[in-house]
Amino acid sequence: MPVGSVQCDNTTLNLLKANDFVAKAIRERLKDVCVINVCSSPGSGKTTLMQETGKRLSSELNIAVLVGDPETERDAVRMREVGINALQIVTGGMCHIEAQMVLQALDHINLDGVDLLFIENVGNLLCPAAFDLGEDYRVTLLASTEGDDKPKKYPRMFLTSELMLVSKADLLPYVPFSVEAVTKDAREVNPNLEVISISTLNGEGIDAWCSWLKDKVRAKKGIKG
């Protein structure tokens, strides 16, 4: 085994295999719902983005959110305060959501008529990358305040994502972060990765993000155009 590499033991492999089995069941259950797994480091702006997305798209799409956090229900409360159907998944200290948690949560949230279900994952660029949650698409936020070296440090997250959102773009003039450099690194990991710079403060890129979501919902429902 190469120096610095890690080999998964049988217990880990069995856990991931069991997780994939549950993820398949989630996909079968949510055949008509577009499911987006939203990942990032802590503080990258996932919850604020979910709030802004709900405000902008609530007249066009029926949206629900499952919010993952090690403790507290604060983020789900923030969602509900702006009228978003939200349920907290408290992981009890775990650094990621697993498919079984999502499956159990589906019994406690009203998904009648829901077009778009967000799973706001625990803030972490490492562990969540290994767990399929039955999503149709994985989106990773990378804040301008984090530094632009993350795609090569956490390659699996970017390899398994369809879209990278560079969040807090309004701060780009004030921080040492290059959108060009981070996009180059990310696409060396995943050549098919889409990239949008966004700011929930000044609205930059939010229209493009909402258009991306609407396209994915239409695709899931088999609607052309």
Cα–Cα distance, 197 to 153 (Å, whole number): 20
The pLDDT of 220-224, averaged and rounded, is 84
The percentage of the chain sitting over the pLDDT mark of 90, rounded to a whole number, equals: 80
Domains of the chain, start order: 31-63+115-221 (3.40.50.300)
Instruction: Note the pLDDT tens digit of each residue in 145-201.
Output: 999 999 999 999 999 999 999 999 999 999 999 999 999 999 999 999 999 999 999
pLDDT at position 6: 39
What average pLDDT does this structure show over 20-40? 97
216: Cα separation from own chain's centroid: 14
Cα dist. 62→54, 174, 197, 214 in Å? 9, 37, 25, 11
Indicate the average pLDDT of the chain.
Answer: 92
| CA atoms of 23 and 76, how far apart (whole Å) | 23
Residue type, 96: H
Q: Are 69 and 94 in contact (CB under 8 A)?
A: no
pLDDT at 63: 97
Q: Is the pLDDT of residue 1 over 70?
A: no
Determine the average pLDDT of the residues in 121-134.
Answer: 94
> Tell me, what's the pLDDT at 131?
95
Give the model's pLDDT for residue 118. 97
- How far apart (Å, rounded) are the C-alpha atoms in residues 78 and 80? 6
**pLDDT exceeds cutoff 90 at 11:** no
pLDDT for 77: 86
Using one digit for the tens of pLDDT, what is the confidence trace for 62-75? Answer: 999 999 887 667 78
Does position 210 have pLDDT exceeding 60, yes or no? yes
Q: What SS3 class is residue 12?
A: helix
Note the pLDDT of residue 170: 98
Q: What is the pTM of this model?
A: 0.91
In degrees, rounded to 5, the angle at the alpha carbon of residue 162 between the alpha carbons of residues 161 and 165 is 85
Q: Which two tokens stand for residue 224?
A: 């052309």
* Structural tokens at position 114: 């829901």
Q: Kind of pairing, strands 34-39 and 63-69?
A: unpaired
